[in-house]
Each structure stands twice: as structure tokens, then as C-alpha cells.
Amino acid sequence: MISKFIFPILLNLMKHFPYFLLAIVFLVSCGPRERISKEVFDKVNNSMEAKKLSEAQITQEALIWGDSISTVAQQQLMSSLHKAVEEKGFGGAISFCNVNAAPIVSELSEKYGVQIRRTSFRARNQANLPTAEESQILDAYQYNVENSIENEPNIQKIEGGDILLYTKAIVIPSEFCLACHGEVKNDIEVELLDKIDSLYPNDLARGFGLGQLRGMWSLKIPKKAVVNRL
Ligand code: HEC
């Protein structure tokens, strides 16, 4: 009696066994990476649905997180810079920035899983020049500064919406910055200028005044990391 049911099933399985095997081999040999990203994708979607998150809530959280990360990064850079100026003077601090600014920022990028950088149209380090997306935002910040409109941090979806680009304007807040970014004749000492020229032959980051737009923080925040925080 039972064999009446089981036999056709077995026969069916045997008939399809090669496909079954093929599917397993495919999954095991070249599937893992795809499976993982699909899993991650499903997870983000599922948890968005389960938590009933709206896009507005995600943007809001990305703003809060971006603010806190860029503040930490700013503080770390500034405290290291102040310390270097105290210990070695502005000339010594130039070499310090040259060697240490990037590692400080990239260590934080790793810690948060968020790509962090500073960018500027008038960059000292040419690696900090803006991308096309960043240029548009910098243009808007520049317009606002020139027209005395207050700049707010901004979130934009990029890379198909998987990444949220957080940006925050950096203006020159004090005389301290001018020693290295100010007017060549009035603010930057001659010896210091020589040093800047030798380390950064294409330097554009001079001639700034107080309150001017120096550049902006630019953080690539993965949407899934934001969802996980909610
Ligand atoms: C001791 C000199 C020194 C002082 C003081 C200084 N900077 Fe800089 N700054 C540099 C150097 C050198 C770089 C390039 C760092 C690198 O190679 O990544 C730089 C880079 C930057 C950048 C990244 C964009 C670019 O031009 O490459 C920003 C933004 C910036 N500085 C803002 C400021 C602000 C705001 C202040 C004041 C709070 C300040 N800096 C004070 C030397 C200085």
C-alpha cells in the first residue's frame, strides 16, 4: 500500500536528481557571495518592514549618526593638530597633518563601518578634491555662505539608495586655521609657506578668511547599518 505512494516519489526524485545535484554544486561552489548579499538585502528589507521604518526615519537617524561621527572625527583631528602645534610649532604640525590626517580618519572609518573624508574645491591634498556628487553639494554650501544662509547637514541617497551620503559644511572658525590656510602675505609665515609648497606643490587651500567655506565632511553611510541602529 505504502509502496504505491513512495515508489512514484522515489522515481521522480531519481529523475530529477541530476538537477538537484547541480543546484547543490552551484550553491556551494560559486553561490556563497551572492547568497550572502541576498541575505543581507532581505534582512534589511525584512527588518525595515518588521520595525515599520519609513524612509524619513532612516534619513533622520542617518543625520543623527552622521553628526555624531563627524563631530568625533573633527575633535580627534583638532586635538591631535593642537597638540602637534604646541609641541612642534606650525611648521612641525604641517608634517604631522601630512602624515597623520588620513590615518586618523581612515581608522574611524573602519571603526564605524562608514567611509569618512573631508573634501574641498580648494584642497591642499589633491586626494581630497570632490567627486561630481560632492561638487553639487559644495556648490550649494558655498552659495549659502556667500548669501548668509545657514548651512544645515544634508543626506542624499547615492548608489541606488544603498548608501546615504551625509555632508556637513566646514567653515573657518578661528585665526588658528589661518596660520596654515590664510592669506599668504598676512597669515602664513614665509618658512611655513616653503614647507607647504614642498609637501603640497598643487596646494589650493590658502587665501581663506574667517567664516569662509573651507570644505565639508562627507560620509558614505550604508543604509543597512542605519536600519540596524533603529
Ligand atoms: C598646522 C597647519 C594647519 C592648521 C593650523 C590647519 N590645517 Fe587644515 N590642513 C593642513 C594640512 C597640511 C592639510 C592636508 C592634510 C592631508 O594631507 O590630508 C589640511 C587639510 C585640511 C582640510 C581637508 C581638505 C584639504 O584641503 O586637503 C580641511 C577641510 C582643513 N584642513 C580645515 C582646517 C580648519 C577648519 C582648520 C582650523 C580649525 C585647519 N584646517 C587648521 C594644515 C593645517
At residue 220, the pLDDT reads 98
Confidence at 29, pLDDT banded by 50, 70, 90: very low
- The pLDDT of residue 203: 97
The rounded distance, in Å, linking the Cα atoms of 199 and 178 is 18
CA of 160 to the centre of ligand 1 (A): 32
Residue 24 binned pLDDT confidence (cut-offs 50, 70, 90): very low
- Indicate the pLDDT class of residue 35, thresholds 50, 70 and 90: low
- Would the CB of 63 count as within 6 Å of ligand 1? no
Q: How many CA atoms lie within 13 A of 22 on its CB side?
A: 4
Can you spell out the DSSP letters for 96-120?
HHHHHHHHHHHHHHHHHTSEEEEE-
Q: Is the CB of 168 under 6 A from ligand 1?
A: no
Least confident of 50-54, 89-93, 204-208, 219-223: 50-54
- pLDDT at residue 21 greater than cutoff 60: no
Quote the Cα angle for 66-96-106, to 5°: 30
Lowest-confidence pick of 28-37, 83-92, 192-201: 28-37
Cα(43) to ligand 1 centroid in Å equals 40
Higher pLDDT among residues 111 and 6, named by residue: 111
Integer Cα distance of 52 and 46 in angstroms? 9
DSSP alpha helices (H): ranges in the chain? 2-29, 32-50, 55-112, 132-146, 175-181, 190-199, 223-229
- Specify the residue with its C-alpha closest to ligand 1, atom 40: 177
Q: Closest residue (by CA) to atom 29 of ligand 1?
A: 215
Report the sign of the C-alpha dihedral through residues 195, 200, 204, 205, in that order: negative
Q: For 62-96, how does the pLDDT look when each residue is reduced to its tens digit (9 = 90+)?
A: 999 999 999 999 999 999 999 999 999 998 899 87
CB 156 within 8 A of CB 216: no
**Ligand 1, atom 34: nearest CA belongs to which residue?**
177
| Mean pLDDT rounded to a whole number for the chain | 86
Domains (ranges, CATH) in the chain? 2-48 (no CATH), 54-229 (3.30.450)
